[in-house]
């Protein structure tokens, strides 16, 4: 049995259904001539009027004329609807860059509507012409969500730094001028490793914050993003230098980070320096009602994991310290 998919509104896919269900939708008037349908074997979604012949019996197909059937002036017929649908589809095909309204005052690019009518709703973060949606309550990311995101990103950047630093260290150790043992000076290697880590982090965050997601992998995992103070997307260099501004937040006994728990918009010191805020991923979008100020399962799991790791490190240091102390006696 052939399974069909159809789209009654831009961005929404329905199905799979069989041919009989499509015929019922057609009879109810829900499936319009310009509604898009697809089945396996089709290279692209097509208007319903182009697929009618596969589903409806010949008697049910709209004809150009209804002989002997009077039509009152001003009364629209099914043929009129089909002609209107054909004209509308022709307009779509001729002007792929135009914008239409889906009836809920949300503009959709026609090219997107034709190419993927079943794409899930998404914030239009990569279209600077639309800009952030204002006028709604904004949920700012709290300290613990940000900490969980930082923990994930630290693992990602740390692993990448190690992968890059090890071969560089080997090259330096084998280079002319290394000491007799063939090992590079540890202080120089530590400095180089730290520099690589900073530059890699800055590039990573600058790239991720300026992407369509507006978030690093850690922030994506917990459902938050970084934007300008007015909700606009960050450019690469603002995200790049924000990483170095975090050094300032850290060197003052981490007070710059702790500020996020007490400022009005939950901004850390580096946020204030760079005019950024960390908000829920649905803030400043067309669906602000989807924002969630709860921690969420991912955040809770990451916080528990981070707590276990920190506790393990502290316990290990205590044991090592006790062993060294007893060895000196």
- Model confidence over 240-297: pLDDT tens digits? 999 999 999 999 999 999 998 899 999 999 999 999 999 999 999 988 999 999 999 9
The pLDDT > 70 percentage for the chain reads 71
Dump strand ranges (E) for 28-168: 36-39, 46-47, 99-101, 107-109
Give the residue, 327 or 146, on which the prediction is more confident: 146
**Whole-number mean pLDDT of the chain?**
77
How big is the CA angle at 197 (ends 195 and 202), to the nearest 5 degrees? 95
Phi-psi region of 131 (alpha: psi -120 to 50; beta: other; left: phi over 0): left
d(CA 215, CA 209): 5
Report residue 124's pLDDT band, with 50, 70 and 90 as the boundaries: very low
Q: Is the pTM of this model over 0.85?
A: no
Who contacts 245 (Cβ-Cβ below 8 Å, separation ≥6)? 269, 270, 273, 274
The separation between the first and the last C-alpha atoms of the chain, rounded to the nearest angstrom, is 84
Asked if pLDDT for residue 179 goes beyond 50, the answer is yes
pLDDT in tens, 166-176: 777 777 667 66
The two tokens of residue 119 are 């794409």
Asked if pLDDT for residue 178 goes beyond 70, the answer is no
Place of tokens 């502290």: 314
Instruction: Over range 41-53, report the average pLDDT.
Output: 85
Q: What is the DSSP letter of 316?
A: H
The helix/strand/coil state of 162 is helix
- Chain Cα centroid distance, residue 256: 28
Nearest to 13 by CA among 30, 37, 39: 37
Judge whether 110 and 98 are in contact, CB under 8 Å: yes
Judge whether 302 and 221 are in contact, CB under 8 Å: yes
Q: Is 277 exposed, middle or buried (0-12, 13-18, 19+ CB in 10 A)?
A: buried
Report residue 8's pLDDT band, with 50, 70 and 90 as the boundaries: confident
Q: What is the pLDDT of residue 176?
A: 62
Nearest to 8 by CA among 77, 105, 103: 103
Judge whether 249 and 270 are in contact, CB under 8 Å: yes
Phi-psi region of 141 (alpha: psi -120 to 50; beta: other; left: phi over 0): beta
CB atoms within 10 A of CB 265: 14
Judge whether 270 and 246 are in contact, CB under 8 Å: yes
């Amino acid at each position: 049995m052939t399974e069909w998919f159809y789209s009654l509104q831009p961005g929404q896919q329905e199905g799979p259904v069989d041919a009989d269900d499509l015929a019922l939708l057609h009879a109810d008037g829900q499936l319009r001539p310009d509604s898009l349908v697809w089945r396996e074997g089709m290279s692209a979604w097509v208007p319903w009027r182009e697929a009618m012949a596969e589903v409806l019996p010949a008697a049910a197909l709209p004809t150009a004329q209804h002989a002997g059937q009077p039509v009152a002036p001003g009364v629209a017929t099914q043929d009129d609807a089909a002609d209107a649908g054909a004209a509308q589809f022709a307009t779509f095909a001729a002007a792929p860059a135009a914008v239409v309204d889906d009836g809920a005052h949300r503009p959709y690019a026609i090219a997107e509507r034709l190419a993927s009518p079943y794409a899930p709703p998404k914030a239009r973060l990569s279209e600077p012409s639309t800009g952030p949606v204002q006028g709604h309550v904004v949920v700012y990311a709290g300290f613990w969500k940000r900490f969980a995101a930082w923990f994930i990103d630290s693992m990602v950047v740390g692993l990448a730094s190690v992968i890059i630093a090890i071969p560089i260290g080997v090259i330096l150790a084998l280079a002319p001028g290394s000491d007799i043992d063939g090992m590079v000076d540890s202080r120089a290697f530590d400095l180089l490793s730290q520099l690589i880590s900073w530059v890699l982090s800055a590039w990573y965050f600058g790239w991720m914050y300026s992407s369509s997601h507006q978030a690093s992998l850690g922030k994506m995992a917990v459902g938050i993003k970084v934007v300008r103070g007015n909700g606009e997307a960050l450019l690469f260099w603002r995200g790049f230098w924000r990483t170095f501004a975090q050094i300032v937040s850290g060197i003052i006994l981490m007070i710059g980070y702790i500020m996020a728990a007490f400022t009005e918009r939950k901004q850390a010191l580096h946020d204030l320096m760079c005019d950024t805020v960390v908000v829920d991923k649905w803030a400043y979008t067309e669906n602000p009602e989807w924002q969630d100020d709860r921690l969420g399962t991912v955040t809770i799991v990451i916080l528990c994991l981070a707590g276990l790791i920190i506790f393990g490190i502290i316990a290990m240091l205590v044991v090592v310290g006790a062993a060294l102390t007893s060895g000196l006696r």
